[in-house]
Structure 1
Amino acid sequence: MTSYHSLRYYLSEQPSIVGFRWSHTQSWGSTWSFLFSSIALYVSAAVVLHVLLQLLFRHRRPLPLGPLPAVHSLSMALISATIFAGTVLSATAEIRDTRWLWRRSRTTTFQWLLCFPLGTRPSGRVFFWSYIYYLSRFLHALRSFITILRYRELPFFKLFNHSILIFMSFLWLEFSQSFQVLAILLTTLVYSVVYGYRFWTAIGLPSACFPFVVNCQILLLSCNLVCHFGVLLLHFIKGGCNGIGAWIFNSVLNGAILFLFLNFYVKKHLRKTKVGVIGGAGHELSFVAKKLELVKDKDI
């Protein structure tokens, strides 16, 4: 129990966590100008890197990256697991401390996770971990540069997806948006598994016999879609959820990501089928194996 109490203190009871407040003057990266300039810089740097590689190297062979992909995957797995644990402990503490306020409105724990009461401010434990999650999106975005170096392709879907994730996590804090606790829990749980798997394969251990990363992303998008319907339902039943305007915009962006991902996934499937019909079973197996390896690295 001593280890558990120490973990709970460092992840949810430290004064800096309990007293956290999202502020444009005190929180790094909390201004709109920083948000837009950082996304623009990220996209521009990716495009410049891609152009330079095209000019300097005419062949399309992957560049040797050494341990860089494995280090990035391990870092993301550990950070995601830490955010997940911190969010669970912090949400538990917040529920414990504020449950008495919910009795008049008959709010349950699950309802609070989906729908913050009107007037909720971005301060306290769960918003501290929401802030750490926001900062971790910048480290997550470095995956694009690894893809560009490895495959010499400009991954439009990845650039768009990472930019939107940075933007959405900023909105969560800026408008104290409902649903963010569950979204962080779902995302960090999936990412800790996905990046742990990527680290596993990056150090030479055997990979799964099916597109593991793609299936994880489909599961994550499906859970998010179900939860969004839950937020909308509670908004009308409970008389309003905090940050609903940002949630609507968030939902539109999630819909765009889902559309692009399904479009990408369907094209890959149709391409595999077409090659299988033309090239025969042996060639199909080789093509599918190669494409699955690409999908494992290019998704999320």
Structure 2
Amino acid sequence: MAVAQTVNYWLTEHPKIVNFRWSPTQSYASTWSFLVTAVSSYVIAAVTLHLLLTIILRRRRGLSLGPIPALHSLTMSLISAVIFVGILLSAAAEIRDTRWLWRRTRTTALQWFLCFPVGTRASGRVFFWSYAFYLSRYLHLLRTFFSVIRRRKLSFFQLINQSSLLCISFLWLEFSQSFQVVAILLTTVSYAVVYGYRFWTAIGLRGACFPFVVNCQAVLLGCLTVCHVGVLCMHMVKRGGCNGIGAWLFNSVLNAVISLLYLKFYVKTRSRSMATAVKPT
């Protein structure tokens, strides 16, 4: 019981969590200029590194990074798990504290998860963990550089995917966008599993007999698509609509682009996997 109370305090009731407020003057990396600079620097650095290694190494294989990728995967899995638990407990606390207000607007917990009331500000427990998720996106960018250094491989999809997800998580906070609680819950639980699996295989343990990571990402995109449809329906039905719907529309366009690129990548991966399986020995 004492452990549960301690965890609950540090993940939901700590003053910095309860009193959090997204602000350009109070929150690190919370300005548009920082976002644009970060995305531009990421793309330029990744492309430059890829070109330099291609020129220097030529036909040689990529360089070894030792245990760094495995440690990164373990770190990202743990961070994702903490964010998942934190935002889940924080959402429960917000529902408990504001249920009395929802009765006036006839809002249910399910509606709140998908559709914030108009006028919602980016402050409090849930947005603290949304901010933590946004900052964690910068750590995800390192995988691109690992891929370039180890395999001398840089894909257009990887650059677009990482850049878009960083922008999307910024928009969630900047416009107090609806749908972000569900999106973060689904994404972090997926990342906790995927990065845990990557750590598992990186230390030499046996992997799955099917493309585990690709399938997990496909399931995540499918779930997010269903939730996007739910937000649209909620916005059309609910009086006043959902908060941050303009940012949600832009978010939806980016997600559609990512989904199309990923679908192409998924079909290509599955075709290659099936071709390998039927290849005569």
TM-score (norm 1): 0.91
Q: For the residues of structure 2 that align with 1:267 and 1:67, how far apart are their CA atoms?
A: 29
Matched AA of 2:26? Q
Counterpart-to-counterpart distance in 1, 2:96 and 2:196 = 32
Q: How far did 1:281 drift? A: 2.4
Counterpart of 2:269 in structure 1 is: 268
The corresponding residue for 2:66 is 66
Distance verdict in 2 for CA 1:238–1:65, change over 3 Å: same
> 2:257 corresponds to which residue?
256
Deviations along 1:217-253, one digit per CA (max 9) or x if unpaired, are: 0110000000001000010111200000000000000
| Pairing 1:167–2:130 present | no
Checking the alignment, whether the CA contact within 8 Å between 1:53 and 1:152 is kept in structure 2 is: yes
1-side partners of 2:270 and 2:222: how far apart? 19
Equivalence for 1:281: 280
Quick one: distance in 2 between partners of 1:245 and 1:139? Answer: 28
1:100-179 aligned within 5 A = 100-179=100-179
Once residues 123 and 257 of structure 1 are traced to their aligned partners in structure 2, the CA distance between those partners, rounded to angstroms, is 29
CA RMSD, Structure 1 to Structure 2 (Å)? 1.3
C-alpha spacing 1:160/1:263, structure 2 compared with 1 (3 Å): same
Report SS of the residue matched to 1:104. Answer: helix
Q: Distance in 1 between matches of 2:102 and 2:172?
A: 22
The one-character-per-residue Cα deviations of 1:143-166 (angstroms, maximum 9, x if unpaired) are: 000111111111211111110010
Matched, 1:186 2:186: yes
Fraction of identical pairs, as percent: 64
Q: Distance in 2 between matches of 1:275 and 1:191?
A: 28
Match of 2:14 in 1: 14
Question: Which amino acid counterpart does residue 269 of structure 1 have in structure 2?
Answer: R
Structure 2: runs of 5 or more not aligned: none
Q: Does the aligned pair in 2 maintain the 1:147–1:155 contact within 8 Å?
A: no
Judged with a 3 Å threshold, the aligned counterparts in structure 2 of structure 1 residues 275 and 8 are, in CA distance, closer, same or farther, namely closer
CA distance in 1, matches of 2:89, 2:276: 50
Aligned partner of 1:258: which letter?
A: S
Q: For residue 235 of structure 2, what is the aligned residue in structure 1?
A: 235
Q: Which residue of 2 aligns with 1:294?
A: none
How much has 1:274 moved relative to structure 2?
5.9
Q: Distance in 2 between matches of 1:120 and 1:210?
A: 43
Question: Which segments of 5 or more consecutive residues in structure 1 lack a partner in the other structure?
Answer: 283-300
Assess if the C-alpha contact under 8 Å between 1:60 and 1:152 holds in 2.
no
Is the 1:137–1:166 Cα contact (8 Å) retained in structure 2?
yes
2:89 paired residue number:
89
Q: More displaced, 157-166 or 266-275?
A: 266-275
Q: Is the 8 A contact 1:23 1:30 kept in 2?
A: yes
